Amino acid sequence: MNQSVETTPLLPAVAQGDTTAFQELYDRHSAVLYALLLRILTKPEDAQEALQETFVQAWRSASAFDAARGSEIAWLVSIARSRGIDRLRSRRVRGERENEAGREISIRTGTVENTTGADHAIASQERVAVRSALDELPPPQRVALELAYFEGLSQSEIAARTGEPLGTIKTRMQLGMKKLRERLQASR
C-alpha cells in the first residue's frame, strides 16, 4: 500500500459500489487526509469525525471524479479540506477557543506503518518535491496562502491578522498560487 502516490485511480471502481476498491482507497490515502485534518482541526477526535465524513462523501459521489481533470488525491484532499474547514468554522461559531499555540505545531510525529519500503520512498519523494515548491515561495506569500488553506480565513481576515492592506494580501496570494502552480507543473 502506498500513500497518495498516483497509480491507477480507484474511484471509478468505488463508483460502481466496489467495497474492496474503497478499502484500498482508504489504505492508500487516509494518512495524508488525516494529517491534513489534524493540521486544520488539531483535535484528533474532530479530525477522525471529519475523516469519516470525507470518506462517506467520497463513497457517495465517486462518480463525480473525472481523472481527466485532476488526480484522485487532489479530489479527496479537496473534500477533506472542505469538511475540515466547515467543522472549524462551526466550532468558531460556537465560540470555542482556538488553541493558537497548538495550531502552530506541525504534525511531524506520525508514522506510516503500513506502507512498503519502496512505496514509502516514492511517497517521500513526492513530499520532497511539493515541499521544495512551497519553500520557493516568499514567506509572506506562503503565510497568506496557509492562513486561507488551513484556517479558512478570508482575504479580509488575513489582512487583519497580518496588518497588511487587503489589496496587498490579494496580490500576494494570487502571485503565490501562480508560482506554485507553475513550479509544480514544471516538476511533473
Partner 1 sequence: MSAHEDFESLAALEAIGAVSEDEQAALYAHLDTCAECNEVRDGYQEAATAFALALDPVMPPEEARGAIMGAVMQDDFTERR
Window 111 to 140, contacts with partner 1 (CB under 8 A): 111-114, 123, 126-127, 130-131, 133-134
Shortest distance in whole angstroms from residue 162 CB to partner 1:
13
Shortest distance in whole angstroms from residue 173 CB to partner 1:
6
Candidate residues 26, 140, 143, 164; the one interacting with partner 1 per rule CB under 8 A:
26
Residues ≥6 apart with Cβ < 8 Å to 27: 1, 114
Shortest distance in whole angstroms from residue 95 CB to partner 1:
22
Is residue 39 within 8 A of residue 109, CB to CB? The reply is: no
Residue 59 CA to residue 75 CA, distance in Å, equals 12
Shortest distance in whole angstroms from residue 26 CB to partner 1:
6
Decide: is 64 part of the binding site for partner 1 (CB under 8 A).
yes
What mask of x and - would describe binding to partner 1 in positions 35 to 54, judged by CB under 8 A?
Answer: xx-xx----x--xx--xx--
- How far, in Å, are 1, 76, 124, 136, 161 from residue 32 at the CA level? 13, 10, 12, 22, 28
Shortest distance in whole angstroms from residue 48 CB to partner 1:
5
Q: Which is nearer to partner 1, 63 or 99 (CB)?
A: 63
Residue 145 CA to residue 95 CA, distance in Å, equals 24
C-alpha cell read off for 44: 484528533
Write the single-letter amino acid at 152: G
Q: How many residues bind partner 1 (CB under 8 A)?
A: 75
Decide: is 168 part of the binding site for partner 1 (CB under 8 A).
no
Candidate residues 21, 77, 79, 88; the one interacting with partner 1 per rule CB under 8 A:
77
Candidate residues 9, 11, 21, 22; the one interacting with partner 1 per rule CB under 8 A:
22
* Burial track 135-165 (b if 16+ CB lie within 10 A, e otherwise): eebeeebbebbbbbebbbbebeebbeebeee
Decide: is 3 part of the binding site for partner 1 (CB under 8 A).
yes
Decide: is 91 part of the binding site for partner 1 (CB under 8 A).
no
Decide: is 100 part of the binding site for partner 1 (CB under 8 A).
no
3-class DSSP state for residue 5? coil
